[in-house]
Amino acid sequence: MQNAVAAGTPSLETVTRLYHQLRLIRVLEEEVARVYPTDKIKSPVHLSIGQEFVSVGVCDVLQPRDHVSITYRGHAAYIAKGGDMAAMVAEMYGRKAGCAQGRGGSMHLVDSKAGVIGGSAVVGTSIPIAAGFALADRRKGTGGVVACFFGDGASEEGCLAETLNFAALQKLPVLFVCENNGYAIHEPRAKRWATDRLCERAATYGMPAHHVTSGDVFEVRARAEEAVRAMRGGGGPVFLEVDCYRWQEHVGPNQDYDQGYRSQAELIPWIEDDQVPRLARMLDASVVERIDAEVRLAVAAAFAFAEETPFPDPEDLYDHVYA
Amino acid sequence: MQNAVAAGTPSLETVTRLYHQLRLIRVLEEEVARVYPTDKIKSPVHLSIGQEFVSVGVCDVLQPRDHVSITYRGHAAYIAKGGDMAAMVAEMYGRKAGCAQGRGGSMHLVDSKAGVIGGSAVVGTSIPIAAGFALADRRKGTGGVVACFFGDGASEEGCLAETLNFAALQKLPVLFVCENNGYAIHEPRAKRWATDRLCERAATYGMPAHHVTSGDVFEVRARAEEAVRAMRGGGGPVFLEVDCYRWQEHVGPNQDYDQGYRSQAELIPWIEDDQVPRLARMLDASVVERIDAEVRLAVAAAFAFAEETPFPDPEDLYDHVYA
Amino acid sequence: MTTSTPEKGPNPGEGRLLRYVDALCEAFAQEMRRDESVFVFGLDVDDHKCIQGSTRGLLQEFGAERVFTTPLSEDAMTGVAIGAAMAGMRPVHTHIRMDFLLLCMNQLVNIAAKARYMYGGSVSVPLVVRSMIGKSWGQGAQHSQALHSMFMHVPGLKVVAPSNAHDVKGCMIAAIRDDNPVIFMEHRLLYPTEAYVPEAAYEVRPGKARVVAPGEDVTVVGISNMVVECLRARELLAEAGVSAEVIDPIWLAPLDIDTIVESARRTKRLVVADNGWTSCGASAEIVAQVLERAGDAGIAVKRIGFEPTTCPPSPVLEAKFYPNPGTVAATIHAMVRPKDAPWTPDPERTKLAYQTQFRGPF
Amino acid sequence: MTTSTPEKGPNPGEGRLLRYVDALCEAFAQEMRRDESVFVFGLDVDDHKCIQGSTRGLLQEFGAERVFTTPLSEDAMTGVAIGAAMAGMRPVHTHIRMDFLLLCMNQLVNIAAKARYMYGGSVSVPLVVRSMIGKSWGQGAQHSQALHSMFMHVPGLKVVAPSNAHDVKGCMIAAIRDDNPVIFMEHRLLYPTEAYVPEAAYEVRPGKARVVAPGEDVTVVGISNMVVECLRARELLAEAGVSAEVIDPIWLAPLDIDTIVESARRTKRLVVADNGWTSCGASAEIVAQVLERAGDAGIAVKRIGFEPTTCPPSPVLEAKFYPNPGTVAATIHAMVRPKDAPWTPDPERTKLAYQTQFRGPF
Ligand SMILES: Cc1ncc(C[n+]2csc(CCOP(=O)(O)OP(=O)(O)O)c2C)c(N)n1
Ligand SMILES: Cc1ncc(C[n+]2csc(CCOP(=O)(O)OP(=O)(O)O)c2C)c(N)n1
Ligand SMILES: [Mg+2]
Ligand SMILES: [Mg+2]
């Protein structure tokens, strides 16, 4: 893995912004992992630790009018798009002030104000939903685009093929982002994919398709920037496949290299290339210190909020079944 | 359209065999169309007139142990694979001696003895079923292969993408045959496909894929022969896309060029290149005469059988709900 | 054939005699004029056949941005509709057979029904999913199913099955304006039936069943086209001296059970005739609800529906598969007069105009 | 926790105390040894977690040709299973949540259920579709559904929901040997529960419900895990002087209604407690069937199930969403003693060992 920066030298401002987001998500998820054994979070959590750079790189080029479509492994994209962190943690705690009022949990984060489309726990399901938002954007002339995140496993669901065809046919402003971490739960890609030619396949629908293998947040950002520019110009959908690696177990707070289905050796290059310290090294120590302190405070505040804010009333059960 | 015979000169035997099948299917379907207005066939019929060469070319290289998976437009493949014609016509007449005992109708033809997997009226649905047969063939070591027919419309269903991936992953002996007649009911391909790069897409799963645009039954046969040979050697699935044209209306016995959704001009080259008279011209007039007479007799006998054989008893309704 | 004129609506009995299919089409046109966010899409809505005429003229008036066909991708297209609805549009997604909704169950049940709830009230899904129930002319196993009970099972969905031209217009307008996903069931054989339909837009909303015809001896609930067949059964029964009250629930979810309970308490007999299977069907639900409510009232109950088999295309078998006015009347007669000899009306007289005029394939 | 020992099976009460999950696994191993055509596939059946242990050891013993994972393609994989079954194999297709069957509805309902019928008896589909119902620990909207009523609605499918280790083994063996598609429902929270399980292979076939515990005042039908919860409710009720008979239908389709009718005729009260929604649910079907059969017997009826909402993950809401031994007992008490003051058992005493020991996420 090399940092093939396809994007020229990023400005200090960009590095700072990206570092802030990367660090924020990392610290937040580490805190989730730390708290989890207390059973305060009674919700299956799927951590993005190590994969944050995909969400951060893509969302940095989005605007408030744009949307992201997230998965059950959606903490990173939720935060990167500007979702309310306190509401997110409260949601994991099952509280009334949670972003879904305690009705979603970690797998169904949502923040309509920030443009975060709700996540789904049924893999692949949210892909066509994203295209529906893009269709609405076009009809309403908002100029907005939709970034649609999904995993390598999700790419096997027929609804991806159906959605790619429809989005290309209708020239919808959707940026498809496959976070290819090589596993679906414990099953490696080789047991699920006949070949690795996903990008090539997406391109046959007539959309630009790029495979980012560098693990470099700036390359992701550059690709996304280029894609979004083209999409706002009416160019139709773009496909990005981004190689990444899930450091923790599929669901839950721990590592699982002792389980035998993958070896720690796979992890090592990703740790060496971890974008969080990499970007820290590109900044003044004082800036890093300030950001780190800010981030720690923000995360602590979110958890403090979640701890204090009340549970729903049992009678709330009956709300929101119908609009 | 040109007859780019990719297959050398076919033997007289082959020409004779193919002509017989082409003529048989043509005469059979013309008879269906003739009888239809009498309302004796109370079943939606989807005729293959003009498209027979696809089924005939492919099925000619199949053996009894092989299977075909057909669609609701399945008369041609059913006959080409050696399905019982009298039982087929009786089925359309709703009779007890029908191939599905009057429980299938024209859209659900089946002949297990002849290796015809039952058709489905839900587009695309039979594609993975075909792969299931291939999986069973491999497990049982029959050496059999499965030819799976489907339309250009069916290719848009997500289950095709899912099945291609699985078949390639498992190296299943499936010959996927897309009968691309350019329409799904009245909707032209351009309103449904983002691009025409279907074969290229299939190839990304790591399977050989060929687009036959010549309308030539010998080219179809040659491609199928090559594919089946490779599949029997364990080579995994092969994809064929065959351009063709539906001469009649989508469902029912008539032509519909007066309806405005397509022009008769589209039909003309296909008529000029019609494989039935083309193959007739390659044979001695006496051979053609003999075959034509045989075919007429066989078709007449099938209809006579259907007319005479009784309806099911109303109480039969309750049979076969469970095995 | 004219179905009994509905007594509800802004101007009861007023309007023109209109076919079901044209009333439906009028609903789309009026709502699309009123609200820019309404669009109609799905396979073949824009071809020259216009879904049997039900979308006639929409493409011309509203253009291809609001009236368009799709690839054959029911699963993803349902997701697209849901996404667009969450984003503030009002899509009407069309399927020419209800059987095809089986391809959409994940999106409809796991997302459309649940989105508002699982996203804590922060979104709504104002989506209409139209589908047509096929019947006769060898429709067979996969073009004949009425699957409303699967949707009635799931909180968050609304389900409606209008039985006449008046209601189909009012229900479609109500469904389009509803902020929830609505499963809208049409019946192919009802398309040519006529009723008086007001010209102006009006809503036939959830919450009120209609007593279509009064009676004393038995309460008969008909669903979708079975309302028409029950009305014919009622006429036949009247000749045999049995007086049947026929109720059309119109909306199946939410269901107005009060009207049914009230009637059944009075007649002491409840028959539910559905155009669907009875096992875990709408008929089971109606029977169970009535008896939970009025368990001590000694109400005898009976469900009528598809025979418990797959739908066969052979006309001989098809005739036995479906309930019809004759079998409904005979069943009711046996219930009301258990001691009399079994009575079946003359089969010739049980045929309905709207059926005999139907000729396939679609 | 040990559920009441089933009285049926070849050697009642014999065998070892085995967990539900191990009994299930033993069924697979025994059938795979007996019959080469049996294979087990589906997402994650061959990983080190082995679907919570239910497929443990199968890969090692039978190899990757007969025990394999698949791409995430539930729709097509169901079609593959059906095709293989038609071709003479006996596939067992596994889903870790029943919610995911919504992706398979087209194949299951339009093909698996209908193939034998619509192909005139010329094929059969000996397919088992396993799925697990999730509950608690924030499973939430899409990992908690029990959708059996959708399958009970459709002729041609069989449905089974074993509630204990003995039955899960016998039912799985019966399902694998059955020549029809069987929807096999497991419950996540039942996996660690133990019962006596004979070592040899045996079948618990469709057609016979089990009276799990006798009683006089009320007939309580429990479905899946609700059998266990109803047994606890029965104990609590006994303390209040109410005697409840608990019946486990085991197979939901075909359903042994006779056993239920017989009991309900005697007790004059029928409560059906389901782990699912009631609207058009299994509980509606059981109530409707009993009352169609025994309408004149004056049987009071009541359904208990999920609250009519989506399943929420917040523990406070989740607790109210599900029925439990306390709510079941209170409901029955109110039915049996309508004139008494409402009675609710001490909530602490309603908790079941098999639930409190469960800790997420899966
Ligand atoms: C339709 C569906 N099938 C199976 C599952 C079970 N499941 C949950 S996550 C997961 C793996 C998904 O892998 P991928 O898309 O690569 O995402 P990742 O977890 O690697 O981020 C599976 C199979 C599910 N939730 N939904
Ligand atoms: C899943 C599904 N969607 C829609 C339909 C309605 N329908 C029947 S045939 C057809 C067109 C299929 O086109 P294609 O696959 O190209 O086959 P062709 O009819 O051209 O042979 C459609 C849309 C259906 N039967 N099933
Ligand atoms: Mg992955
Ligand atoms: Mg076509």
Pick from A313-317, B275-279, C113-117, C358-362: least confident: C358-362
Q: Give the max Cα distance, chain D.
A: 64
Of C114, C145, C291, the CB nearest to D141: C114
The answer, yes or no, to whether residue B246 has pLDDT greater than 80, is yes
Regarding whether C150 and C257 lie in a shared domain, the answer is no
The separation between CA B266 and the C-alpha centre of its own chain, rounded to angstroms, equals 21
Regarding whether D223 and D161 lie in a shared domain, the answer is no
Among C168, C197, C226, the domain-final residue is C197
Residue C185 falls in which region: left (phi positive, over 0), alpha (psi -120 to 50) or beta: beta
Residue C121, phi then psi, degrees to nearest 5: 80, 5
Residue B44, phi then psi, degrees to nearest 5: -65, 120
- Please report whether residue B48 resides in a domain: yes
- Please report whether residue B254 resides in a domain: yes
Regarding whether C223 and C330 lie in a shared domain, the answer is yes
Do the Cβ atoms of D156 and B165 come within 8 Å? no
Residues of C in contact with D103 (CB under 8 A): 105-106
Residues touching ligand 2 (Cβ under 6 Å) are B 73, 121-124, 151-154, 181, 183-185, 246, 250; C 43, 72, 74, 96, 100, 103
Q: What is the DSSP letter of D191?
A: T
Q: How far, CA to CA in Å, does C15 sit from each of A121, C22, D344? A: 49, 13, 57
Contact C270, C262 (CB under 8 A): no
Residues A83-93: tens digit of each pLDDT: 999 999 999 99
So what's the pLDDT on residue B243? 98
**What percent helix, strand, coil does chain A show, rounded to 5?**
50, 10, 40
Contact A88, A119 (CB under 8 A): no
Name which of D94, D96, D317 to mutate to probe chain A: the one with the most chain A Cβ atoms within 10 A of its Cβ.
D317
**Distance in angstroms (rounded) separating the CA atoms of residues A180 and A174:** 18
So what's the pLDDT on residue C359? 61
CATH of the domain at A121: 3.40.50.970
Judge if pTM exceeds 0.95: yes
So what's the pLDDT on residue D7? 44
Ranges of beta strands (E only) in chain B are 67-69, 116-117, 146-151, 174-180, 183-184, 187-188, 209-212, 238-243
- Please report whether residue A213 resides in a domain: yes
The answer, yes or no, to whether residue B106 has pLDDT greater than 50, is yes
Q: Give the range of the structural domain holding residue B99, as residue numbers without chain letter.
A: 12-306
Do the Cβ atoms of D71 and A124 come within 8 Å? no
Looking at every residue in chain A, the average pLDDT score rounds to 96
The answer, yes or no, to whether residue C257 has pLDDT greater than 60, is yes
**Distance in angstroms (rounded) separating the CA atoms of residues B218 and B3:** 9
- The minimum-distance atom of ligand 2 relative to the CA of C143 is 25
First-to-last C-alpha distance (Å) of chain A? 50
Regarding whether D311 and D228 lie in a shared domain, the answer is yes
Q: From the candidates C74, C186, C229, C318, which is the catalytic residue?
A: C74
Q: How many CB pairs under 8 A join B and D?
A: 144
Regarding whether D224 and D137 lie in a shared domain, the answer is no
Share of chain D above pLDDT 90, in %: 89
Minimal-distance CA residue of chain A relative to B166: A194
Looking at every residue in chain D, the average pLDDT score rounds to 94
D359–chain A nearest CA distance, Å: 9
HEC-encoded secondary structure of C271-323: EEECCCCCCCCHHHHHHHHHHHHCHHHCCEEEEECCCCCCCCCCHHHHHHHCC
Regarding whether D242 and D285 lie in a shared domain, the answer is yes
The answer, yes or no, to whether residue B1 has pLDDT greater than 50, is no
Q: What is the DSSP letter of D130?
A: E
Minimal-distance CA residue of chain B relative to C362: B44
Question: Which position has the higher pLDDT, C347 or A202?
Answer: A202
So what's the pLDDT on residue C354? 63
Segment (H or E) for D220 = strand D218-222
Per the structure block, which two tokens stand in for A115?
A: 């443009």
- Go through D159-194 and write b for each residue having 16 or more CB atoms within 10 A of its CB, e for each that does not: bbbbbbbbbbbbbbbbbbbbebbbbbbbbbbbbbbb
Residues C295-330: tens digit of each pLDDT: 778 999 999 999 999 999 999 999 999 999 999 999
Regarding whether D136 and D74 lie in a shared domain, the answer is yes
Do the Cβ atoms of B122 and C49 come within 8 Å? no
CATH of the domain at C87: 3.40.50.970
- Please report whether residue D10 resides in a domain: no
Residue D190, phi then psi, degrees to nearest 5: -85, -15
Residues D80-116: tens digit of each pLDDT: 999 999 999 999 999 999 999 999 999 999 999 999 9
* A288 pocket-lining for ligand 1 (C-beta < 6 Å): no
So what's the pLDDT on residue D351? 82
Chain C (37-96) residues lying within 8 Å, Cβ to Cβ, of chain B = 43-44, 47-49, 69-76
Mean pLDDT across B99-104: 97
Q: What spacing in Å lies between the alpha carbon of B185 and ligand 4's midpoint?
A: 7
> 3-state DSSP call for residue C130?
strand
> Does the annotation count C307 as an active-site position?
no
Residue D91, phi then psi, degrees to nearest 5: -75, 145
- Please report whether residue B317 resides in a domain: no
The answer, yes or no, to whether residue B272 has pLDDT greater than 60, is yes
Regarding whether C291 and C175 lie in a shared domain, the answer is no
Looking at every residue in chain C, the average pLDDT score rounds to 94
Do the Cβ atoms of D76 and B162 come within 8 Å? yes
Helix segments in chain A, DSSP class H: 12-35, 52-59, 75-80, 85-92, 126-140, 158-169, 198-203, 217-232, 264-272, 275-281, 285-308
- Please report whether residue C329 resides in a domain: yes
Segment (H or E) for A71 = strand A67-71
| Residue in this structure with the two tokens 């949540």, named with its chain if needed | D97
Pairing of strands D158-160, D90-95: unpaired
- Please report whether residue D309 resides in a domain: yes
Per the structure block, which two tokens stand in for D164?
A: 């204990």
**Distance in angstroms (rounded) separating the CA atoms of residues B232 and B221:** 16
A298–chain D nearest CA distance, Å: 24
Per the structure block, which two tokens stand in for A88?
A: 């997110």
**Distance in angstroms (rounded) separating the CA atoms of residues B25 and B32:** 10
Regarding whether C243 and C105 lie in a shared domain, the answer is no
- Please report whether residue D112 resides in a domain: yes
Tell me the pLDDT band of A4, cut-offs 50, 70 and 90.
very low
- Please report whether residue A317 resides in a domain: no
Contacts of residues A6-11 at CB distance under 8 Å and 24 or more positions apart, as own/partner, are A6/A218, A6/A219, A6/A222, A6/A223, A7/A218, A7/A219, A7/A221, A7/A222, A7/A225, A10/A218, A10/A221
Q: How far, CA to CA in Å, does B184 sit from each of B151, C80, C139? A: 8, 21, 19
**Distance in angstroms (rounded) separating the CA atoms of residues C152 and C156:** 9
**Distance in angstroms (rounded) separating the CA atoms of residues C54 and C22:** 6
- Please report whether residue B320 resides in a domain: no
Do the Cβ atoms of C284 and D279 come within 8 Å? no
Contact D229, D190 (CB under 8 A): no
**Distance in angstroms (rounded) separating the CA atoms of residues D154 and C281:** 10
Question: Which position has the higher pLDDT, D301 or C1?
Answer: D301
CATH of the domain at D260: 3.40.50.920
Looking at every residue in chain B, the average pLDDT score rounds to 96
- Please report whether residue D183 resides in a domain: yes
Nearest in space to B115 (alpha carbons), one of B160, B88, B90, B80: B80
Among C172, C197, C222, the domain-final residue is C197
Per the structure block, which two tokens stand in for D10?
A: 């070849």
B96–chain C nearest CA distance, Å: 9
Name the closest ligand to CA A243: 3
The answer, yes or no, to whether residue C2 has pLDDT greater than 50, is no
Residue C303, phi then psi, degrees to nearest 5: -105, 140
So what's the pLDDT on residue D3? 37
D360–chain C nearest CA distance, Å: 20
**Distance in angstroms (rounded) separating the CA atoms of residues D266 and A16:** 77
Residues D183-211: tens digit of each pLDDT: 999 999 999 999 999 999 999 999 999 99
The answer, yes or no, to whether residue C64 has pLDDT greater than 80, is yes
So what's the pLDDT on residue C7? 44
- Please report whether residue D203 resides in a domain: no
Residues in chain A: 323
Q: How many structural domains compose chain A? A: 1
Q: How many structural domains compose chain D? A: 2
Regarding whether D338 and D191 lie in a shared domain, the answer is no
The answer, yes or no, to whether residue A3 has pLDDT greater than 50, is no
Type of residue found at B295? V
The answer, yes or no, to whether residue A17 has pLDDT greater than 50, is yes
Q: How many CB pairs under 8 A join C and D?
A: 144
* A244 pocket-lining for ligand 1 (C-beta < 6 Å): no
Torsion of CA C25, C26, C30, C35, to 10 degrees: -20
Per the structure block, which two tokens stand in for A309?
A: 């804010």
Residues A201-215: tens digit of each pLDDT: 999 999 999 999 999
- Please report whether residue A261 resides in a domain: yes
Q: Give the range of the structural domain holding residue D35, as residue numbers without chain letter.
A: 16-197
So what's the pLDDT on residue D297? 84
Helix segments in B37-157, DSSP class H: 52-59, 75-80, 85-92, 126-140
Regarding whether D94 and D184 lie in a shared domain, the answer is yes
The answer, yes or no, to whether residue C108 has pLDDT greater than 50, is yes
For chain A, say whether B206 makes contact (Cβ under 8 Å).
yes
> 3-state DSSP call for residue B51?
coil
- Please report whether residue A238 resides in a domain: yes
Regarding whether C224 and C182 lie in a shared domain, the answer is no
Type of residue found at B11? S
Mean pLDDT across C124-131: 98
Do the Cβ atoms of A314 and D319 come within 8 Å? yes
- The minimum-distance atom of ligand 1 relative to the CA of D143 is 25
